[in-house]
Amino acid sequence: MRVEVLPQQLRHLELSRCGLLQAPMDLIRLTRLTELRLDDNPIETWWQLRQRLPAALADLASLANLPLASNPIGDGWKHLPRQLQRLHVQCCRMQQVPPELARLTQLTSLSLADNPIESGWQYLPRQLRQLDLERCGLRRVPAELARLTKLTSLSLASNPIKGGWQHLPTQLRQLNLQRCGLKQSPPELAGLEHLQQLSLEYSKVHGSRRDLPGRLQVRMSRRRGPLLPKVLSRMFRPAVWFPIPDLFSDFVHMSRARRPFVLLLLDFLLCVAACCILIAFFLQWLS
């Protein structure tokens, strides 16, 4: 790929899923670049570039957003630019939070989704405001999250969390607990006085909201017919006695790293079959 033909004043550059086998060395010309997307490329892109031209990379002082999802990072954490503000490293096979993250003193948004992280939570930068830990296999809320005093948005979706709720940062405004297998809302949520948005979708949570903050916006479980408009759902309710599975949502949200393609295809085919059945009911109802 020839990067030298790109204008030097470029600020946003996306090279995701380009099948890059080596890092474009001419990236150093783009000194005004603030966002560089290198997701889903089979190379250790950023640090490979750093190792070859370490001095020249100092010119990329404007780079603030660096998505590196689905890349084998290895020991490349030490080469991340200190001025980064947003870093996305989903599906990077991480088992611990790297110590090098602690030196990113300007980082405010971090996504570690789809990584089976077991340790290293103490290295999370304290100035973080947004943190995504979806599908990390968490069984407890890490105790180290309590020290993130500036965190306002946290996603723990699709984690089988059973405890540790007392470690949630008290200044949270948005909390995503979708698909966590909850049967009741944790009582510790009552202590989150600043919480404004809480998502409990696709769970079995029922009961009163008396213990939740008064102005809280709660999104509860979706159990029936998410693929149909509400009018059609009401129309079919007397005739269709079985619950419609949320197959399409699973198809969209499930991690590619966690689900084989065959299972994804099966979900999609089942979804199509369910839609065909509903169309048949609808045509019968019209006749």
Question: Each residue of 18-68: pLDDT tens digit?
Answer: 555 555 556 656 655 655 665 555 554 445 544 443 333 444 555 555 656
**Which of 27-41, 111-125, 206-220, 257-271 shows the highest mean pLDDT?**
111-125
Residue 207: predicted pLDDT: 54
The SS3 assignment for 17 reads: coil
232 pLDDT higher than 50: no
pLDDT at 42: 54
d(CA 174, CA 41): 32
- Establish how many alpha carbons lie within 13 A of residue 66's alpha carbon, considering only the half-sphere containing its beta carbon: 23
Per-residue burial over 141-154, b = 16 or more CB atoms within 10 Å of its CB, e = otherwise = bbeebeebeebbbb
**275-284: average pLDDT:** 88
Q: Across the chain, what does the average pLDDT equal?
A: 72
Q: Is the pTM of this model over 0.85?
A: no
- Over 70: is that where the pLDDT of 163 sits? yes
Residue-range domain boundaries for the chain: 223-287
* Structure confidence by residue, pLDDT tens digits, 135-157: 999 999 999 999 999 999 999 99
Of 188-192, 218-222, 226-230, the range with the lowest mean pLDDT is: 226-230
- Which residue in the block uniquely carries the two structure tokens 């001095």? 55
Residue 133 confidence (pLDDT) above 60: yes
**How many Å apart are CA 287 and CA 273, to the nearest integer?**
21
